[in-house]
Amino acid sequence: DVKVTQSSRYLVKRTGEKVFLECVQDMDHENMFWYRQDPGLGLRLIYFSYDVKMKEKGDIPEGYSVSREKKERFSLILESASTNQTSMYLCASSQGSNLWGTDTQYFGPGTRLTVL
């Protein structure tokens, strides 16, 4: 079974702090994704990566950056956390080098981040 793990289930940070959310997948997947989930808005794509050291902006990249130094690990970084970044953050991965394909995305359990 594919396993996507996220470093924390719950996280509380203060405004202005730098926040790192880590995601690791164990199935040698090419593609990795970061979403945020908010009530009534569904999931919105923040960033994705289709290869090591490659990254692409999603629909809401402002205030976030990402890092993918190794194939299995994809980190989301909040340079200076703000209260409007309080949300559930979900990581996902999918197989294959073709983003246009039909590969299933596998999700981690999520990190619920609260910024005070």
Partner 1 sequence: AQSVTQLDSQVPVFEEAPVELRCNYSSSVSVYLFWYVQYPNQGLQLLLKYLSGSTLVKGINGFEAEFNKSQTSFHLRKPSVHISDTAEYFCAVKGGGKLIFGQGTELSVKP
Residue keyed to tokens 């994705």: 48
Q: Which is nearer to partner 1, 43 or 77 (CB)?
A: 43
Residue 54 near partner 1 by CB under 8 A? no
Span of 14-22, 66-74, 77-85, 101-109 interacting with partner 1 by CB under 8 A: 101-109
- In sequence order, the 6+-apart residues with CB closer than 8 A to the CB of 19 are 11, 13, 77, 78, 81, 113, 115
Span of 12-20, 44-52, 63-71, 78-86 interacting with partner 1 by CB under 8 A: 44-52
CA 94 to chain centre: 13
Residue in 76, 90, 113, 115 binding partner 1, rule: CB under 8 A: 90
